[in-house]
């Protein structure tokens, strides 16, 4: 009995060291559909306005709820068109800022000179009215497609960066690739101000150049929080692989 108790005491006192988690950064390349969130967000907002402020209109014996102001339909159509254009045309760096400032300047100038009223007066039949059903149905459809793309399909492939190694992985299928982080160059591409900062909330594009005899240039677009990701990656690739793991000691082994 005494021997058993002593053995148990020694086992309890013996240190047990666990393998620490290896630090890593995961990069997801999102599709341009991510920038379409204002379409469904604004649609739901206008649906609420139509629900609370709408007026009933009878069409072919059935009642439909419309907002009395034509501004909602015009604004929604313009925003939808801008999202389509600006998510398919890349304006980087100073060019994007100049285009946006120029558009705002023209808009404010026309308003100051009173030209918008004259333009609208020339188009007396210009009126875009959308009922509650349109806002709810269309916004829900866009949101479902956006959510499936953002939370599922965009995460099927990703880049995993660890000290000493970068791998390209797929959740479905094969074809994993691995790269040595020594000599890797991570470059943040110039930002498209409207797409990356206004719609993307700090997203951006990355350019990765590998080292070695078979140099490869990798383009990873639409990475969320790209500036923070680049800082974390630079910190990881500066760590030697042997520094990322502590020595493993089994129970009862000497320190």
Q: What is the mean pLDDT of residues 210-222?
A: 84
Give 55-81 pLDDT, tens digit per residue: 999 998 899 999 988 778 878 887 888
Q: What stretches of the chain show up as alpha helix (H) in DSSP?
A: 2-13, 37-53, 71-86, 94-113, 115-121, 132-151, 226-237
Give 37-53 pLDDT, tens digit per residue: 999 999 999 999 999 99
CATH architecture of 22-31+154-240: Roll (2.30)
What is the pLDDT, as a whole number, of residue 39? 95
Q: What is the mean pLDDT of residues 14-28?
A: 69
**Token pair listed for 54:** 């709408």
Give 143-184 pLDDT, tens digit per residue: 999 999 999 999 999 999 988 889 999 888 666 788 888 888
- Cα(1)–Cα(7) distance, rounded to whole angstroms? 10
Q: Is the pLDDT of residue 18 over 70?
A: no
**Token pair listed for 210:** 């590998």
Q: How confident is the model at residue 140 (pLDDT cuts 50, 70, 90)?
A: very high
**For the chain, domain boundaries:** 22-31+154-240, 34-148
Q: Is the pLDDT of residue 85 over 60?
A: yes
> Could you give the percent of the chain with pLDDT greater than 90?
33
What is the pLDDT, as a whole number, of residue 248? 37
- Cα(19)–Cα(1) distance, rounded to whole angstroms? 35
pTM of the prediction? 0.75
Q: For 29, how many CA atoms within 13 A lie in the half-sphere containing its CB? A: 15
Closest CA to 203 of 184, 170, 230: 230
**Exposed, middle or buried, 27 (CB in 10 Å: 0-12/13-18/19+)?**
buried
Q: What is the mean pLDDT of residues 120-148?
A: 87
């Amino acid at each position: 009995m005494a021997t058993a108790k002593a053995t148990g005491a020694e086992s309890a006192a013996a240190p047990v060291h666990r393998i620490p988690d290896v630090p890593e950064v995961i990069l997801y390349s999102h599709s341009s559909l991510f920038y379409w969130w204002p379409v469904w967000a604004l649609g739901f907002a206008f649906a609420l306005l139509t629900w609370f402020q709408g007026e009933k209109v009878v069409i072919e014996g059935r009642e439909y709820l419309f907002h009395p102001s034509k501004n909602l339909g015009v604004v929604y159509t313009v925003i939808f068109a801008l999202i389509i254009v600006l998510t398919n045309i890349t304006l980087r760096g100073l060019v994007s800022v100049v285009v946006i400032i120029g558009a705002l300047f023209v808009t404010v100038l026309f308003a100051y000179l009173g030209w918008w009223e004259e333009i609208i007066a020339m188009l007396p039949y210009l009126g875009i009215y959308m009922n509650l059903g349109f806002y709810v149905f269309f916004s829900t459809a866009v949101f479902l497609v956006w959510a499936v793309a953002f939370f599922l399909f965009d995460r099927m492939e990703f880049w995993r960066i660890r000290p000493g190694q970068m791998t390209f992985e797929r959740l479905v299928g094969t074809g994993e690739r691995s790269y040595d982080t020594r000599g890797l160059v991570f470059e943040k591409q110039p930002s498209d101000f409207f797409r990356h900062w206004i719609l993307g909330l700090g997203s951006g594009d990355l350019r990765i150049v590998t080292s070695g005899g078979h140099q490869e240039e990798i383009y990873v677009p639409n990475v969320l929080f790209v500036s923070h990701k680049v800082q974390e990656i630079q910190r990881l690739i500066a760590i030697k692989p042997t520094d990322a793991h502590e020595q493993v000691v089994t129970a009862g082994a000497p320190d």
